[in-house]
Chain A
Amino acid sequence: MTAHVWGAGSTDFGRQTERLPAELAWEAVTEALLDADVDRIDAAFVGTVFGSFGLGQRALVGAGLAGVPVVTVENACASGSTAMHEAKAAIESGRYEHVLVLGVEHLTSLFKGPIASDATDTEQATGLLFPGIYAMTASRYLYDHHLEPEDLAHVAVKNSAHGALNPRAQRGRALTLEEIMGSRMIASPLTLFQCAGLSDAAAAVVLGPHRRSPRDVAIRASELGAGGPWDHASPHVWGHDLVSRTARSAYDAAGVEPADADVVELHDAFTIGEIVTLEALGLAGDGEAPAAVEAGEHSLGGATPVNPSGGLLSRGHPLGATGVAQVVELTTHLRGEAGARQVEGARVGLLETMGGGAAGVDGNACVVAVFEGG
């Protein structure tokens, strides 16, 4: 039995300080339920990183789903996609039939500046907030491949152009290379527009077994990995090996290769994140991702469009909601319903989300999943 996406929904992405986290969830869940055309839900898997006590239950009771068992998942930036991964397994094992996956986060009520992990985490305790972790990767990557900072910024040019086609995107405007490089330096070499902003949003999908609906999207494979040790003995920058290993498992499980992907949603919390991930997924050779992005290979209309939603950089990165938002985006493309940003003829979709923050671990969690339209 293969789990399918039956319905998808989300809120807008951005600063929504006047709305409660549960309100965001109600909107996304209601849209997903209507889209799925279901009369009951058996269980809910909720992804949230900083979501407060009982957020999943409050979200469900207000959406008319009181009494549905809830499992809440924290797996850093991969929380939402881990919730999807577990929901898929619950369906395929026969434990549940109709499962809601909800991702929700309200970052503007928690942070004013860069996001920190946990006060007992070595990196945060030493003053290395999230942009710094990726900046460390960026500095090393540029050194290893003899590149310049603006070679990374083309990712933000591309994803902002995509985001301008997404009415729900947080940064709904195409940015120039000059604007991106000229924006405020956050953690060298990463400037402000190379970092995802604080975002409040919810996204939801309803999963179920195969049914006779041409709009349903099959989840061909989903793999969840956790990082091994990351230290002086590691051959690559932080997170690379975790993504690479998880992707290989997902490709094998789905019977596909990277070149089979028609549309990709991947984890670009920072420009360097997309660069490293393109290479770890096998979509670009070692050190070749910046040139491929600049050449348009991963733009809409290119060989393999990546982050047509605008990605985390432009659609927005409400941590726990991000993985579910990626599922929503891929579902929309595989149904042929993505409008101005539709990847024409998309049949196979690839999802990757990776989260964590060093502390000796090569990523807390990574989910790579392969989707196929009907």
Chain B
Amino acid sequence: MTLGLMPAAEPRPVVEDAPEGPVLSGVRCRACEHPVAVRVPRCPRCSGETESASFGPDGVLWSTTTFYVSSGEREAPYTLGYVDLDHGPRLLAHVDDGPELEPAVAERVRLTGRTPVGDPLVELVR
């Protein structure tokens, strides 16, 4: 039988507190400067070596959806967005108060930290 255990490593992008506020701690390609949300050793675009880089907190909603089916510890409804951080990568994040505020594609957002279960979290900038 399987034990149902998870690797200790975290599959979600890392959101950290910095002096200027929460930032995404990802990587940037040394060769082509392409930013990546997760800490991969090689650039997905050019195969160059990557180095640590921080992004955010401001960005724009590339797309968004509100989920009406619960998932694990997350109670529906909840809203997710693919956020294109300014000069940074695309980040999958929850949108604070999304079901009430009904965010639209192309709205401005700002990274505010993580949800209680550790998902990256943004708020709408209206």
Contact = CB atoms under 8 A, between A and B. Distances in A.
Interface of A: 113-114, 116, 119-123, 125-129, 131-132, 135-140, 143, 184-190, 228-229, 231-233, 358, 360
A358 B92 CA distance: 10
Given A119-B6, A139-B105, A233-B34, A184 B68 contact: yes
Nearest 7 pairs of A and B residues by beta carbon? A135-B65, A229-B44, A143-B105, A140-B63, A232-B90, A125-B11, A136-B63
B41 to A, nearest CB: 14
A131 B76 CA distance: 14
A127 B105 contact: no
Contacts of B34: 233
Given A126-B80, A231-B36, A132 B65 contact: yes
24 contacts: A113-B69, A120-B9, A122-B92, A125-B10, A126-B12, A126-B80, A126-B119, A126-B120, A127-B78, A127-B94, A127-B119, A128-B80, A131-B67, A135-B67, A136-B80, A140-B63, A143-B104, A187-B65, A188-B65, A188-B66, A190-B65, A228-B44, A231-B44, A360-B38
Contacts of B82: 136
Given A128-B80, A188-B66, 4 more contacts: A129-B69, A132-B65, A137-B63, A232-B90
Contacts, number: 104
A187 B92 contact: no
A81 to B, nearest CB: 25
A325 B92 CA distance: 33
Contacts of A186: 67-69
A143 B73 CA distance: 31
A143 B12 contact: no
A187 B67 contact: yes
Contacts of A233: 34, 45
Interface string B54-72: 0000000011111111111
A242 B106 CA distance: 25
Nearest to B91: A232
B19 interface: no
